[in-house]
Homo-oligomer: A and B are copies of this chain.
Amino acid sequence: MREIREVIEGRAARLSEGDVRGFLAYSAPEILLYSLAPPLGERVDSSDPTPTEQWLATFEAPPRREVTRLEIAADGDVAFATSIDSMSATPKGTTDAFTLWYRVTLGLRRVDGRWLVVHEHESVPFQMDGSFAAAIDLKP
């Protein structure tokens, strides 16, 4: 459990530091990503830092990440973890700092003694009032 917690908190810290390769080093070579943005799902090559670097470049500075309410279930070499996370950032060229709270479920596998993220599901719910607006203003 402690090792898995260190993986989850470590990757959030690396991203906050803008250390893309350090962030990706916590992932298996390929992960199944259900991201905040479309598509529904995609397999991502963790050896390629370019997409993450390009995403980071859309902000004035790397987003500050916070992981809260972390819960981990693990047995043998398989684990999943749930948390309510936040990301605080300022889009490039603006002064519009935002904080987005979202849910995260991670799937992990222990490979050669090391826990790696093999699946990441990040999302916000959406309003069922007919607007179909993403609920980007929720707080835990």
Contact = CB atoms under 8 A, between A and B. Distances in A.
A75 B47 CA distance: 26
Contacts of A138: 38-40
A124 B38 CA distance: 8
A100 to B, nearest CB: 10
Contacts of A101: 40
Interface in A113-139: 118-119, 121, 123-128, 132-136, 138
Given A121-B123, A123-B124, 16 more contacts: A38-B127, A38-B135, A38-B138, A40-B101, A40-B103, A73-B109, A75-B76, A76-B76, A80-B80, A82-B121, A103-B121, A105-B105, A105-B119, A105-B121, A126-B136, A132-B133
Identical chains bound together, number: 2
B76 A125 contact: no
A93 to B, nearest CB: 14
- When A and B form their complex, which 7 residue pairs have the shortest distance between CB atoms, in order from nearest? A123-B123, A75-B76, A126-B134, A75-B78, A80-B80, A34-B103, A76-B76
